[in-house]
Chain A
Amino acid sequence: MAAGAAEAGEAAVAVVEVGSAQQFEELLRLKTKSLLVVHFWAPWAPQCVQMNDVMAELAKEHPHVSFVKLEAEAVPEVSEKYEISSVPTFLFFKNSQKVDRLDGAHAPELTKKVQRHVSSGAFPPSTNEHLKEDLSLRLKKLTHAAPCMLFMKGTPQEPRCGFSKQMVEILHKHNIQFSSFDIFSDEEVRQGLKTYSNWPTYPQLYVSGELIGGLDIIKELEASEELDTICPKAPKLEERLKVLTNKASVMLFMKGNKQEAKCGFSKQILEILNSTGVEYETFDILEDEEVRQGLKTFSNWPTYPQLYVRGDLVGGLDIVKELKDNGELLPILKGEN
C-alpha cells in the first residue's frame, strides 16, 4: 500500500500541471536541455482525461522527458500564443522552441512522436571527454541545422539585444531564408560556439555550416551588395501557396492524407471526392504550420479542409456537400465552369 501510494505520487509528480503563463515560460527555460511535451486539455473532454493517462504512462517510460498538462481555457495567453483551437493538442519543445505538434487524441501517434524526439536527442554524457566530443558534434549539427543559421539573443520575433535585432532586420529586408537559435536558451552552446568558431560575440551567422561573421561583417556585405549572393533566399510564402494550390487540378488541403484522415470533416470530404471518381491530390496541413496559417490568409478562409480546383478555392466541407446535393460538384471538379 505504501509502495502503491509512492508510485501514485511519482506518477502525479511526473506530469506537471501548469497554471499560468509565467510558470509555463519558466518551465520552458528550465527544460531547455530535454524534450518538453505539453498537453493542452480540458476537464470536460473525456478524450483529454484519457490522454492524461497515456501521458502518465509515457512519463514512466521516459524519465528524462518532461510532461506537462495545461488547461487550455485556464491559461488563454499560452493557448492563444500557440493557436490552440481544440483539445487535446500536444506541443513538443526543445531548446525553448516548438519542434512539433499533434492535434487530437492519437495515443499511438503521441507515443511515436515522443520516441522519435527522444531518439533524435543526445543522451547525457558520462565523462568530460564525452562532454567535449558531444558538444562539438552538437555544435556542428546546430550550425548545419539549416542552410542559413543565425545564433542570436532571443528570437527573430522577440530579439533580446540591439545587435541581434539589427541582424534580423537586415536578413528580413533581403528576404533571406534562415533559422535561428536563442543562445539564452543554452549556456553550453552559448559558450561552446565561441570556442568552436573562434568568434567571441553574438549574433553569429552561418551559411552551409560556415561562419560568415557578426553584425559588422553582415553590414559590410550588405553595403558591398554581396549579401544576397552569399545567403539563400526565402521563396515567398505567397508564391509557394500559389504553386501548392495548383499542384494538381483538384487539390485538397486537409488534416491527414487519403489513407488516414485525422478529423471528421477531412474524412467526410475524402469520401465525397472518392465517390466522384475524379483524380485529386492532398496536402496534410498538420505537417506544415506555415502553409496551415498562410493559406487561411491567402484564401480568406479560416478553416480546413479546403478544396481547390485549378488554383481557385471552392470551399470547405459544407460547400462541397451543397454542391454535391445540387448536382454541381462534378462539373466544378472537371473545370467545366
Chain B
Amino acid sequence: MELSADYLREKLRQDLEAEHVEVEDTTLNRCATSFRVLVVSAKFEGKPLLQRHRLVNECLAEELPHIHAFEQKTLTPEQWTRQRRE
C-alpha cells in the first residue's frame, strides 16, 4: 500500500480529471498517517458537498482505511478562481 503525497495527488488528478490538486502530508501533527487534500475539478459542478466528498472518498477507497485522519476541500474551477482572486 503506497501512501505518499505524490501518489495521492496523481491518483486524484487522473481519476477526477482535476485541474489542480494539493496534497499535504499532516502525519507529523498526529502520530498516524494523515493527509489534507484540495481538489479542483469540473466534476464537482452542480453537486452538493456530500456528493463531492463521496467522489474523493471513492477515488481513494483503497487508501482511506490506512489513513487515520483525512481532510478535504472540493472546489469547482469557478470557485477556485474566485477564491484565489480574494
Q: A residues engaging B (CB < 8 A)?
A: 42, 45-48, 76, 80, 83, 85-88, 105, 263-265, 300-303, 313-319, 322-323
- Scoring B residues 35 to 78 as 1 if CB is less than 8 Å from chain A, else 0, what string do you get? 00000000000000110011001000100111111111100000
Chain B residue with Cβ nearest A76:
B1
Decide: A265 near B31, CB < 8 A? Known: A300-B54, A323-B49. Answer: no
Q: Which of B32, B53, B57, B68 has the most CB of A within 10 A?
A: B32
Q: Determine whether the beta carbon of A86 is less than 8 Å from that of B1.
A: no
Complexed CA–CA distance, A182 and B66 (Å)? 30
Complexed CA–CA distance, A300 and B61 (Å)? 11
Q: B residues engaging A (CB < 8 A)?
A: 1, 30-33, 49-50, 53-54, 57, 61, 64-73
Complexed CA–CA distance, A318 and B64 (Å)? 15
- The smallest C-beta distance from A44 to any residue of chain B, in angstroms, reads 9
- The smallest C-beta distance from A197 to any residue of chain B, in angstroms, reads 42
Chain B residues with CB under 8 A of A48: 31
7 other contacts beyond A85-B68, A263-B69, with CB at 8 A cut-off? Answer: A83-B65, A301-B57, A302-B61, A302-B64, A313-B50, A315-B53, A319-B50
Pairs A–B under 8 Å by Cβ, sample size 12: A47-B31, A86-B32, A87-B31, A265-B69, A301-B57, A302-B64, A303-B70, A315-B49, A318-B53, A318-B72, A319-B50, A322-B49
Q: Determine whether the beta carbon of B53 is less than 8 Å from that of A314.
A: no
Decide: A45 near B31, CB < 8 A? Known: A85-B66, A264-B69, A301-B54. Answer: yes
Q: Which of B54, B66, B73 has the most CB of A within 10 A?
A: B66
Chain B residues with CB under 8 A of A88: 31
- The smallest C-beta distance from B16 to any residue of chain A, in angstroms, reads 16
Q: Determine whether the beta carbon of B33 is less than 8 Å from that of A86.
A: yes
- The smallest C-beta distance from A274 to any residue of chain B, in angstroms, reads 21
Complexed CA–CA distance, A316 and B57 (Å)? 12
Chain A residues with CB under 8 A of B54: 300-301
Chain B residues with CB under 8 A of A314: 50
